Amino acid sequence: MGKKKDHKGKHEAELEEQHSAAATEPKPKMKRKEFDAELEKLQVELVKMQEWVKVSGAKVCVLFEGRDAAGKGGIIKRITERTSPRVFRVVALGTPTEREKSQMYFQRYMPHLPAGGEVVLFDRSWYNRAGVERVMGFATEEQVEYFLKYAPAVEQAIINSGVILVKYWLEETMEDQTARFEERINDYRKIWKLSPMDLESHRRWYDYSRARDAMFAATDTETSPWYVVDSHDQRRGRLNCITHLLSLIPYEEVPYEKVKLPKRQPKGDYVEPDHPFRWIPELY
């Protein structure tokens, strides 16, 4: 599945054509068994990409944006669950400190950009300024307009430094968001995912729509485009997003010599201990 650079444009066009054809034909929700089988294939490719990144010294930065409950964390989890945390690094910054608020806006994000041999996945990024900060009034309109004006130049500088920069927007419907929030309310395992900010974002759906539209208009450029993921069926969305990401990275399979386990050393004078291990209760 690894693609060379000269195949990139053609493959992207094929994916777009497939999406256009599929968009007119609603598909049934993907079954877990089918999803797991397809995900396993893609995770093999992610590991191939990882090994190429390590050997080539490539720098990959992927931004995941979208409304609350769009599924950013779910895609990131599937990307990272079979890859090395030493190569694939997730950045999910919290509320800025008073010191960080006094910095140049992009400053707190720059230290997290990838070095050679790294893939950085941003679970929300500097586009907070164009989204939540704008809608919730944490930034002035002047600050937002300044950000929208100069973000493309900053991203161009990042790309010029050798970083492969990919931006994803996960698109969900009003009904999707409501259902997912209600699930968080009713499933105790997910209550930590629901915050007062989430509730407010549910109320301000159209404010977020306006913010998204303004963000796309200002920052969807030829060199740093926004790719939109249909997140209605989250399983299909995850597979489609990972497939698309792999198509953008010019990785090649790195030769791998199968390892043979060495024989264990002889026991020699080792004696099994008589120390009573504190075994945990076997309840399952």
Q: Hey, which residues does 218 pair with through a beta bridge? A: none
Question: Is the residue at 42 inside a domain?
Answer: yes
**Boundaries of domain holding 126:** 5-248
- Does residue 175 register a pLDDT over 80? yes
Please compute the mean of the pLDDT values over residues 42-68 and round it to a whole number: 98
How far is residue 92's CA from residue 226's CA, in Å, rounded to a whole number? Answer: 20
Q: What pLDDT, on the 0 to 100 scale, is given for residue 10?
A: 52
Question: Is 268 part of a structural domain of the chain?
Answer: no
Q: Coil, helix or strand for 60? A: strand
Residue 273 covered by a domain: no
Residue 75 has pLDDT above 90, yes or no: yes
Task: Report if residue 253 sits inside a domain.
Answer: no
pLDDT tens for 251-279 read 999 999 999 999 999 999 999 999 999 99
- The SS3 assignment for 171 reads strand
Residue 6: is its pLDDT beyond 50? Answer: no
Residue 51 half-sphere exposure toward CB, CA atoms < 13 A:
13
Q: Is 213 contained in some domain?
A: yes
Whole-angstrom distance, CA of residue 83 vs CA of residue 209: 34
Looking at the domain assignment, is residue 254 inside a domain?
no
CA geometry: angle 115, 149, 62, nearest 5 deg: 30
Structural domain count, the chain:
1
The answer to whether residue 182 scores a pLDDT higher than 80 is: yes
**Is the pTM higher than 0.85?**
yes
Task: Tell which wins on pLDDT, 141 or 4.
Answer: 141
Residue 13 has pLDDT above 70, yes or no: no
pLDDT band for position 204 (cuts 50, 70, 90): very high
List, edge to edge, every strand of the sheet that includes 163-171.
88-91, 118-123, 59-66, 163-171, 226-230
Whether 71 is covered by a domain: the verdict is yes
First to last CA, the chain: 41
> Does residue 80 lie within any of the structural domains?
yes
Answer yes or no: are the C-beta atoms of 105 and 129 closer than 8 Å: yes
- Segment 82-104, tens digit of pLDDT: 999 999 999 999 999 999 999 99
According to the model, what pLDDT value does residue 29 have? 87
Residue 11 has pLDDT above 80, yes or no: no
The CATH code of the domain that includes 103 is 3.40.50.300
Q: What is the pLDDT of residues 142-163, one digit of tens each?
A: 999 999 999 999 999 999 999 9
